[in-house]
Amino acid sequence: MKFHWFAQQFHTQLPEDYGDTVRSAWVTPPASYADPRQVGEEYHMYLRLMQQADKLGWDSLLLNEHHQTSLAMTPSPNLLAAVLAATTENSAIALCGNSLALYNPPIRVAEEIAMLDCLSGGRVIAGIVFGTPMDSAFSYGVPPIELRERFHEARELVHRAWKAKEPFAFNGKYNQLRYVNPWPRPVQSELPIWIPGSGSVETWSVVNELDYCYGYLSFSGKQSATPIVNGFWDYTESTGGNMNPNRMAFTQVICCADTDREAEEQYYDAVRYFYRQNPVAPEFGNPPGYTTPESLRAMLSRERTISAEEREKANKGELSFWDYDRLGYIIAGTPERVEQRVRELVTDLRIGQLITCMHVGNLPEEVAAKNNYLFGTRVAPKLRDIWAEHEDRWTPKVSQERVAALQLTDQPA
């Protein structure tokens, strides 16, 4: 079982009524709400928490790419990855990922990931994403109907650039390059590649065709995600794909405390902040051409495991703390309770790579650091045996070796 540290890198100083008064927290949120100095302090906080996680034995430190949003202030995850590559020693650096279709030419992504792999000594996970419609169609102006074509052409170019022994010409529909010869090449001969998705059949197809790791980056928890995760495994089995649990990554908000009562006291406000401060205007959610008819049919046919009323309450911050827990939006409580709930989650859904969201909303840094410590020392070690019989080719070998060696030593106080 592998654990990957993650935070959505939310802006922590939004007004109380932000989620009610701003039409959309994505694409058009007023920039005046983000004080640049405060944002800088928040970046430092997230870096400190990830550096702590490196010492506590997380298998990777995960970063994502989003644009024009208060939800995730990471328009360039590679910049933060460079800091981590130079200031951490054990964990992999998981880029989950770079939005390939947004770059012209995308060879820039091949170059930056190769640089990061060299800087980190071969610890990079090269996650690549299609990008949300808010990022791709509206913030970066890519026509939705072109997104998948652009992504796959860019993926072919990037992968070939990493493997080529000499310069080559690339003539695609969207990219024409006379000389492709990035310096340097990655340390790893085969970079682990992850592709996150939200349930589209086309993503399942390419993930299985190329034996990538599929990441379901949901923040709605087990109950809501079960039809999609089970759908992926059913599709994989029906097409003769690799059923190794380490090919499935899943995001879960963790709220660990010394007692259940402390968990509610310390995390409830931050959980409510996270969910209620992220409205997305409906016109940005799914523009024509972004989702294929096949995937639309699959989405409409899936079982609804959470009622529309409960989902609306969750998004408005109106559920009780323990209702968020009951529905799986969070896993909260003592280390013993968290361990039991995580064990159920990963065994029921066949998850080998758990992306633990250890900071949420406007959580104070000291609470997140305690969350790191409790989970890293009292929960994760007891779950390492799950799926241990399966090979993991989706996490860098060097980070696997260093994290394993760290587990044999005394954990830091």
Strand partners, 251: 355
Residues 153, 166: Cα–Cα separation, whole Å: 20
Q: Please, how many CA atoms are within 13 Å of residue 296, restricted to the half-sphere of its CB?
A: 8
- 69, amino acid identity: T
pLDDT at 411 over 70: no
Q: Which of 42-51, 94-103, 221-230, 242-251 has the lowest mean pLDDT?
A: 221-230
Mean pLDDT of the chain: 95
Residues in the chain: 413
User: 55: exposed, middle or buried (C-beta count within 10 Å: 0-12, 13-18, 19+)?
Assistant: middle
Contacts of 345 (CB under 8 A, 6+ apart): 222, 250, 252, 328, 331, 351, 354
Contacts of 3 (CB under 8 A, 6+ apart): 57, 58, 59, 354, 356, 380
Over residues 245-254, the mean pLDDT reads 97
User: 354: exposed, middle or buried (C-beta count within 10 Å: 0-12, 13-18, 19+)?
Assistant: buried
| Predicted local confidence at residue 308, as pLDDT | 87
What global pTM score does this model have? 0.96
Over residues 91-105, the mean pLDDT reads 95
Helix then strand then coil, % of the chain, to nearest 5: 50, 15, 35
Q: Are 99 and 90 within 8 A, CB to CB? A: no
| Predicted local confidence at residue 245, as pLDDT | 98
Residues 352, 196: Cα–Cα separation, whole Å: 15
Over residues 237-243, the mean pLDDT reads 96
Helices 221-238 & 201-210 angle (0-180, nearest 10): 60
Pairing of β 92-99 and β 176-180: unpaired
Quick count: other Cβ atoms within 10 Å of Cβ 214? Answer: 24
| Predicted local confidence at residue 105, as pLDDT | 95
Please write the tens of the pLDDT for every residue from 8-34: 999 999 999 999 999 999 999 999 999
Please write the tens of the pLDDT for every residue from 134-191: 999 999 999 999 999 999 999 999 999 999 999 999 999 999 999 999 999 999 999 9
Contacts 24+ apart (CB under 8 A), 311-315: 311/220, 311/224, 314/220, 314/275, 315/275, 315/276, 315/278, 315/279
| Predicted local confidence at residue 342, as pLDDT | 98
Which residue in 203, 202, 217, 215 sits closest to 248, CA to CA?
215
Q: Are 140 and 209 within 8 A, CB to CB? A: no
Domain boundaries, the chain: 2-71+80-90+198-407
Quick count: other Cβ atoms within 10 Å of Cβ 82? Answer: 17
pLDDT at 290 over 70: yes
Looking at residue 212, the DSSP 8-state letter turns out to be P
User: 129: exposed, middle or buried (C-beta count within 10 Å: 0-12, 13-18, 19+)?
Assistant: buried
Confidence of residue 410 (pLDDT cuts 50, 70, 90): low
